[in-house]
Amino acid sequence: MQRTPLHRRLPFGADRTSPIWTEDNCVLCRPPRPIHRRPRVIMLCRTFAAAIVIAAACAIAAPSPAMAAPAAVKVTFVHPERFNDDDFRYRFTPRERAAAVSELTGYIVRAAQSLLKPGASLRIEILDFQRAGIYNPLLGNAANVRILKDITPPRITLRYQLTGGGKPQSGRETLTDMNYLMNPSARFSGDPFVYEKALLADWLRKIAAR
């Protein structure tokens, strides 16, 4: 005699028309649910997705070396109207002098931040600033073109203090370059301070490498 499988036996008092038993609610008869719809799998997927979102948020919030704060650079021109340079001393109007100081300050800050390590602090005081070249003394105030010669290089006197990002440095230096006319890129530049900026950039590279 063929026996009815255990899972198909009816409960006491029930027949096959009873809603108590159907093949749909029999765990052994009904087809299995797709794996992605099973409660445990759904919960695991949600947990995994939440973990990915949290990890991504942490990665965005965490500072990386490339996003670290740049070096703090402060530049001060000390009494530029007293510099040993015709332009700064008497040829520039107060507005032109202020514009020149602003342009040079911005250049020094950008150049220093591109060379120094993040977290470094550099303070610079420009004590004297002589541009390359001279005006023809025979023309007096009528001269408006600087004559560039080997004996008239740019000359900058400064005092500085560098801390953080390496060995602390400080001192007073006078920068000059007797070979400034050998700079091919500066020769065709329209920047009025091209030689002075090149001199400052070279000095910044040196202190950044010490």
* pLDDT tens-digit map of 120-138: 999 999 999 999 999 988 8
Position 48 scores a pLDDT of 54
Domain boundaries, the chain: 14-61, 69-209
pLDDT > 90? residue 43: no
Q: What share of the chain is helix, strand, coil (3-state, %, to 5)?
A: 40, 20, 40
Instruction: Find the range with the poorest average confidence among 4-18, 59-73, 92-106, 168-182.
Output: 4-18
What is the value of pTM for the model shown? 0.67
Rounded to 5 degrees, φ, ψ at 20 are -65, -35
Could you read off the pLDDT of 55-106 as tens digits, one per residue? 555 554 444 545 678 899 999 999 999 999 999 999 999 999 999 999 999 9
Please tell me the distance from the alpha carbon of residue 22 to that of residue 19, in angstroms, as a whole number.
7
